[in-house]
A and B are shown apart, each in its own frame.
Chain A
Amino acid sequence: MSDKRWLSEPRIFYVVPVLALAIPILVNDYIQYIVNLILVYVLVGVGFNIVIGNLGQLAFANAAFFGIGAYTTGLLMYHFQVPFPLALVAGGLVGAGAGALVSLPALRGVRGFYLAIITLALGELMRWVYVHAESVTLGSMGLHVPLPFIGGIALKNDYGKFYVFLFVVVALVVSTSNLLRSRFGRAFMSIRDNELAAASVGIHTARYIVLAFAWSGFVVGVGGGLYAALVRQVSPEAFNLLELIVHFAIVTIGGLASLGGSILGAVILTAAPEFIRDLPGFEELLLATLMLVILLFLPRGFVSILARFIPAIRDRYYRE
């Protein structure tokens, strides 16, 4: 076996974050901001992939979970001066609740295109709520999120935020990996591959459908909370259909049902537009081109190329 021992599993979970600690020394403010944004979108991709990749459900409420997390964290800080760490956890928990709620139609046997339409509608409904529940959400102009503090230290710039974000993202990626490599993750994928057979081996399918959606909502909700702290401006338009398409692109271009793929997709789709910002219209062109390449040549996403060289990022659903 072609072993890259220094990147063998589970060391990859330690090596990469430790190397990442050096990023603030190496980059300027602008790039640091982009790196932080990548971390936010890692959670967006990882969370989304659980539902569409691992559980195999066409549920498109991800931008809604993201917005719900961002609004929960932002509004708690804005209205009640809730400390950022607590507000962030609340963002995740409300996201999890939204996830559990979205799983209800799936439990009722709504699948495929029907589930897609219902969940898309939820995203649009949430935008309507953000705009019209003005007394709470501050309407279409959105809200300005107060300066986040962690243990009395103000996160004034993107370098400080980076360390907090890195910690949160590593914790959630590792726990998601733990979840997927257990009987819980195997239950998700059993349901995706053959729901009737999943029940025949004693898997309480309804329970695991709710769990997958709730964990997905939690991870994406925390991502939303980090987003609120990063850009410090939360408004309805940030969670529209185009945003959802970007989420979908992260998952499919990175690699469906692959944890490493979600991370790679977040890096590609957050960083690439920055290189072509000066060329109007190229962002859409790039997105379309990447999607076509994936559809035609790499159905398992760009991660499938990488996995050939780094065995540790291949997805396995058990541990030795």
Chain B
Amino acid sequence: MAQLLELTGVSVRFDGVQALSAVSLGVAAGEIVAVIGPNGAGKTSLFNAITGYVELAEGGITLSGTRIDGLTPHEISSRGVRRTFQNGGLFGELTVLENVLAGLHGRVGGSLLGVLFGSRAARTAEREAVAEARRLLDIMGVRHLERQLAKDLSGGQQRMVEIVRALATNPPLLLLDEPAVGLAPPVREQLVRTIHRLAKKEGLGILLIEHAIELVMNVSDRIVVLNYGEKIADGTPAEVRADKQVLEAYLGHA
């Protein structure tokens, strides 16, 4: 399978601390890849490197064969790599609908002058965006929340809305940073079904950081294990489960 996302020898350093050392991995369209590892293993650094929030010390990243390392976060987002954030990335003082509209940012037409003067074109573009945002909320079953402020939602609702916002522009690649943290079991089930549907029905490539190990084992096609910034395993859930090095990293056996 041709790779959608491809990392080749990616290293990231902060003030002499090696956050990632020569990590290579790939994600294909329709594939769900989980990144696991102990705290401080470099999982979020990996996401930040892919989405342009940190500079690479070495290595390269391509999306469908085109280099994306060195681009700014908004450029990478516009090219179709969307992410969610570990601590929640919603715009708290905006409503759910406005959050999704912000997710559609690059798709809403209308020039600055057209907007200022309230031109017909700008109004039409805005109305179309609102209709599209509502359609997306409907698909994910959270349309009823559209008027609520993001900060007033429950943890599970926030994560769903953040996923809707990330998916607004139909990106080919989605990065989820600990989407299941703090979710009640039924909501977690719903999340697993959503992730599965997005990859298998819509053909998205999904890269996922997650601590909930049974969720990872259930949903992933492949699991990448990081430890101290290095990739120590990469394989199917069954392979990773049997990997000695992984057991050592997790259980601390020398």
Find out whether the CB atom of B94 lies under 8 angstroms from the CB atom of A196. Answer: no
- Partner of A190 from the list B85, B91, B112, B123 (CB cut-off 8 Å) is B91
The binding surface of chain A is classed by DSSP as: helix
Does B127 belong to the interface (CB within 8 Å)? yes
In the complex, A181 Cα to B91 Cα: how many Å?
Answer: 15
- Chain B residues near A174: list those with CB within 8 A: 118
Find out whether the CB atom of A199 lies under 8 angstroms from the CB atom of B72. Answer: yes
In the complex, A102 Cα to B91 Cα: how many Å?
Answer: 25
Q: Which of A159-198 contact B (CB under 8 A)?
A: 174-175, 178-179, 181-184, 186-187, 189-190, 192-194, 196-198
- Chain A residues near B104: list those with CB within 8 A: 183
In the complex, A319 Cα to B82 Cα: how many Å?
Answer: 26
Q: Beta-carbon contacts of B161-177 to A below 8 Å, as 1s and 0s?
A: 00001101100000000
In the complex, A202 Cα to B52 Cα: how many Å?
Answer: 12
Q: How many A-B residue pairs have CB under 8 A?
A: 114
Q: Beta-carbon contacts of B48-88 to A below 8 Å, as 1s and 0s?
A: 00010100000000000000000011100110001101000
Interface segment out of the listed B95-103, B217-225, B226-234: B95-103
In the complex, A167 Cα to B122 Cα: how many Å?
Answer: 23
- Known interface pairs A189-B91, A197-B89, A202-B78. Does A319 touch B123 (Cβ–Cβ under 8 Å)? yes
In the complex, A205 Cα to B168 Cα: how many Å?
Answer: 19
The tally of residues in A whose CB lies under 8 Å from a CB in B reads 32
Find out whether the CB atom of A202 lies under 8 angstroms from the CB atom of B105. Answer: yes
Find out whether the CB atom of A187 lies under 8 angstroms from the CB atom of B93. Answer: no
Find out whether the CB atom of B169 lies under 8 angstroms from the CB atom of A202. Answer: yes
Find out whether the CB atom of A200 lies under 8 angstroms from the CB atom of B169. Answer: no
Find out whether the CB atom of B51 lies under 8 angstroms from the CB atom of A182. Answer: no
Q: Which of A98-143 contact B (CB under 8 A)?
A: none
In the complex, A183 Cα to B106 Cα: how many Å?
Answer: 9
Find out whether the CB atom of B74 lies under 8 angstroms from the CB atom of A202. Answer: yes
In the complex, A189 Cα to B123 Cα: how many Å?
Answer: 20
Does A317 belong to the interface (CB within 8 Å)? yes
- Partner of A175 from the list B93, B98, B102, B116 (CB cut-off 8 Å) is B116
- Chain B residues near A189: list those with CB within 8 A: 91, 93-94, 98
Q: List 21 A-B contacts (CB under 8 A).
A: A174-B118, A178-B118, A179-B115, A183-B108, A186-B94, A186-B98, A192-B93, A193-B90, A193-B92, A197-B91, A199-B77, A200-B73, A200-B77, A200-B89, A201-B77, A201-B82, A201-B102, A201-B168, A202-B78, A202-B169, A317-B94
Instruction: Across the A-B interface, give the 7 residue pairs with the lowest CB-CB distance, nearest first.
Output: A197-B89, A193-B91, A199-B73, A202-B77, A183-B108, A175-B116, A202-B106
